[in-house]
Amino acid sequence: MSALGPFYGIGVGPGESGLIPVAAIAALRAADVIFTPRAAHVTESLARQCLGDLALPPSRFREVSFRMQPDRSLLGDQYLTLAQTLSDELRAGRTVAYLTIGDPLTYSTYGYLLATLRDFEPALRYRTFPGITSFAATAAALSWPLGEGKERILILPCPDDLDALKQDIDTHDVVILMKIGKRLPRVLDLLARLELLEHCAFGHRVGLDGELLCAHLSDLQPTGMTGYLSTLLIRRERPSR
Ligand SMILES: C[S@@+](CC[C@H](N)C(=O)[O-])C[C@H]1O[C@@H](n2cnc3c(N)ncnc32)[C@H](O)[C@@H]1O
């Protein structure tokens, strides 16, 4: 059996269009079908929005809708169905690309998709193009150095247990907090108690409409949605300059 593919995993954005490697653009132009994920509760694929206009024929794009599932096994079912669809396209001799937000292998469901597709098609030829993580985009937007010298950085999805978060802050120079959501007010209370608000920074919807950038957390007035699509950069000690 001849090897199938190629299949390309491509990270775009996050946020403003144009943040995509030149090599990934070449792969996109070569793709017959470009899959773009869309959360079921929104009207437009964020990945497609971040791609911007590369003058690719609209007929090549195929949107896939996803329901957010707290139950991982149900999420797995959605990826099984999608992997089957991708496999059908590849078996028909087509080159397939899949867009995702930021870096495809950083807290991204692309990892499940690729693993499932490789189970289906062990001879698959594929390439994953690295993307710009949301914390790199947030740090750049705020000119906030992520790590200097021998500083230790921890990247963390926000825990429910804020004692655990306090311990992580105590044991690292910099903590990057993702997937904050409704926990934001409690996290801000903790940072206020630790007297860290002045040397932490926050980005919400970086590069997108409704962007909110805060170089000092004491300026932040969160509303119900501020914690979503947001990244918090926490520094334990005041920066030296
Ligand atoms: C499912 S993860 C995707 C991570 C992505 N693959 C990356 O490389 O950063 C979603 C989380 O990424 C962060 N994020 C994604 N887009 C963002 C943006 N435009 N501004 C700020 N944070 C963002 C938020 O922490 C959000 O909860």
Examine the fold and report which residue of 96, 129, 162 is the final residue of a domain before the chain moves on: 129
Interval 140-154 mean pLDDT: 95
Q: What confidence score (pLDDT) does residue 233 get?
A: 98
Q: How far is the CA of 23 from the centre of ligand 1 (A)?
A: 22
Asked if residue 117 and residue 147 are part of one domain, the reply reads no
Q: What confidence score (pLDDT) does residue 41 get?
A: 81
Q: How far is the CA of 147 from the centre of ligand 1 (A)?
A: 19
pLDDT digits (tens, 9 = 90+) for 19-30: 999 999 999 999
- Please indicate, yes or no, if residue 178 is contained in any of the structural domains: yes
Asked if residue 114 and residue 51 are part of one domain, the reply reads yes
- Please indicate, yes or no, if residue 2 is contained in any of the structural domains: no
Domain of 73: which CATH number?
3.40.1010.10
Asked if residue 113 and residue 51 are part of one domain, the reply reads yes
Q: What confidence score (pLDDT) does residue 69 get?
A: 64
Asked if residue 139 and residue 111 are part of one domain, the reply reads no
Q: How far is the CA of 177 from the centre of ligand 1 (A)?
A: 10
Asked if residue 195 and residue 172 are part of one domain, the reply reads yes
- Please indicate, yes or no, if residue 74 is contained in any of the structural domains: yes
To test ligand 1's pocket by mutation, which of 66, 128, 134 has the most ligand atoms within 8 angstroms of CB?
A: 134
Q: How far is the CA of 202 from the centre of ligand 1 (A)?
A: 12
Asked if residue 148 and residue 77 are part of one domain, the reply reads no
- Please indicate, yes or no, if residue 106 is contained in any of the structural domains: yes
For the CA of 15, the closest atom of ligand 1 is 19
Q: How far is the CA of 102 from the centre of ligand 1 (A)?
A: 7
Examine the fold and report which residue of 64, 95, 129 is the final residue of a domain before the chain moves on: 129
Asked if residue 215 and residue 147 are part of one domain, the reply reads yes
Q: How far is the CA of 130 from the centre of ligand 1 (A)?
A: 15
Q: What confidence score (pLDDT) does residue 76 get?
A: 76
Interval 99-120 mean pLDDT: 94
Task: Supply the pTM of this predicted model.
Answer: 0.94
Give the whole-number percent of the chain exceeding pLDDT 70. 95
Asked if residue 140 and residue 86 are part of one domain, the reply reads no
Ligand 1 contacts CB of residue 212 (under 6 A): no
Examine the fold and report which residue of 129, 157, 177 is the final residue of a domain before the chain moves on: 129
Give the domain range for residue 73.
Answer: 7-129
Between 39 and 14, the higher pLDDT residue: 14
Q: How far is the CA of 231 from the centre of ligand 1 (A)?
A: 7
pLDDT at 17 over 80: yes
pLDDT at 239 over 80: no
Asked if residue 147 and residue 169 are part of one domain, the reply reads yes
- Please indicate, yes or no, if residue 230 is contained in any of the structural domains: yes
Q: Torsion over CA of 132, 24, 17 and 113, rounded to 10 degrees? A: -70
Confidence band, pLDDT 50/70/90 cuts, at residue 195: very high
Asked if residue 44 and residue 143 are part of one domain, the reply reads no
Number of domains in the chain: 2
Burial of 100 (0-12, 13-18, 19+ CB in 10 A): buried
Ligand 1 contacts CB of residue 49 (under 6 A): no
Interval 56-61 mean pLDDT: 95
Asked if residue 206 and residue 168 are part of one domain, the reply reads yes
Ligand 1 contacts CB of residue 14 (under 6 A): yes
- Please indicate, yes or no, if residue 81 is contained in any of the structural domains: yes
Interval 173-185 mean pLDDT: 97
Asked if residue 148 and residue 69 are part of one domain, the reply reads no
Ligand 1 contacts CB of residue 48 (under 6 A): no
Confidence band, pLDDT 50/70/90 cuts, at residue 72: low
Ligand 1 contacts CB of residue 28 (under 6 A): no
Q: What confidence score (pLDDT) does residue 1 get?
A: 59
- Please indicate, yes or no, if residue 240 is contained in any of the structural domains: no
To test ligand 1's pocket by mutation, which of 45, 107, 138, 225 has the most ligand atoms within 8 angstroms of CB?
A: 107
- Please indicate, yes or no, if residue 218 is contained in any of the structural domains: yes
